[in-house]
Copies of this chain bind each other. A is one copy, B any other.
Amino acid sequence: MVRRQVSMQDIARNAGVSRSTVSFVLNERTDISIPEETRARVREAARQLGYRPNVMAQSLAKESTNLIGLVTDIASSPFAGGIINGAQQAAWRLGKFLLIVSTEGDPARDEAALEMLLERRVEGLIYATQAHKVVALPSAAREVPTVLAHCVEESGEFPSVLPDEEQGGFTATRHLIEAGHQRIALINLDTAMPAARLREAGYRRALREARIEVDDRMITVGHATANGGFHAARTLLDGGEVPTALFCANDRMAMGAYDAIKEAGLHVPDDVSVVGFDNQEIIAAYLRPALTTVALPFERMGAAAVEVLSSVHGSAGCTPLLVPCPLVKRGSVA
């Protein structure tokens, strides 16, 4: 099964040239002049023998591995999944591979993971989290270019790629305003989360720019679940001033809000319009009517992270790179 792989040596012998000639030909080095006749002979030998370069040996000699390490807290979450996929695609485009390790939130594994990655001589490191938060990196991260995705580091020494939550909140609210709404309520997340503060800021800016007064009774905080959304929406709907539109800071809460609206004998979107946040496909696309929501740009963040590492983006600066959150229009706004 494991019959020895054919090496450049074999090709050299077969084509009657030296190893270096083979190397030059196979690497298509045009700065070295080798007659086309010889090149053809070498290539033919390589083909016939079924030669496959050994990237590890190349890496060892060139001292460049084309490997990027990606450590994440929970790889199986759809969130991290998006980042991984985006990073993976971008890496592929650049001819690089990703070495992924999921720490399952165990900080001890963070360090072990980093160590293993460094032993494999990764040329860059992406540290991605499921939720937008502040993290502390093991100091070994300093030994290689590192970029954070969907999180920021305490010390502020590392570049990050973040969703532009403020713009997302703005876009959602703006969309509602453009649909003619004036009484727009916000069902926010716990404001300890950076995402909550920023989404609210965007909401406020949109209202302000449209010269709609911000009514604090229209801003509630719910537990980040369908149930939380249900209760928050019910409270709002029972209040004196019934909103005509709801901006929910996540899709799960929007899902609960749908139920509260139905229960109040109202209809989405005719009586109450709803915009969510997160674009959790399975919720958003299958709710009836389908939920208009703001997407977190995971794929693009993943891609941006590897591009920052490969310095496709010029800056190695540490001010976070903000990736826009696009609005996904479906059927819940009228």
Using a CB–CB cutoff of 8 Å, the interface residues on chain A facing chain B are 5, 52-57, 59-60, 65, 75-78, 81-82, 84-85, 88-89, 92, 97-102, 104, 115-116, 118-121, 225-226, 230, 252, 255-256, 259, 280, 282-283, 286, 288, 299
Contact = CB atoms under 8 A, between A and B. Distances in A.
Given A81-B75, A88-B101, A225-B286, A52 B280 contact: no
Contact of A299 (B53, B76, B99, B252): B76
A216 to B, nearest CB: 29
A280 B78 CA distance: 11
23 contacts: A52-B115, A53-B119, A54-B119, A55-B121, A56-B59, A56-B121, A76-B78, A76-B81, A76-B85, A77-B81, A78-B81, A88-B100, A88-B101, A88-B102, A97-B99, A97-B120, A98-B99, A99-B99, A230-B288, A252-B282, A256-B286, A280-B282, A282-B282
**Could you say how many copies of this chain the assembly holds?**
2
- Dominant secondary structure at the A interface: helix
Contacts of A226: 286, 288
A65 B84 CA distance: 23
Given A92-B101, A283-B282, A286-B226, A75 B65 contact: no
A113 B225 CA distance: 40
A60 B62 CA distance: 14
Nearest to A283: B282
Contacts of A230: 288
A308 B116 CA distance: 23
Nearest to A226: B286
Contacts of A54: 60, 119, 121
A73 to B, nearest CB: 12
Given A97-B99, A283-B286, A88 B65 contact: no
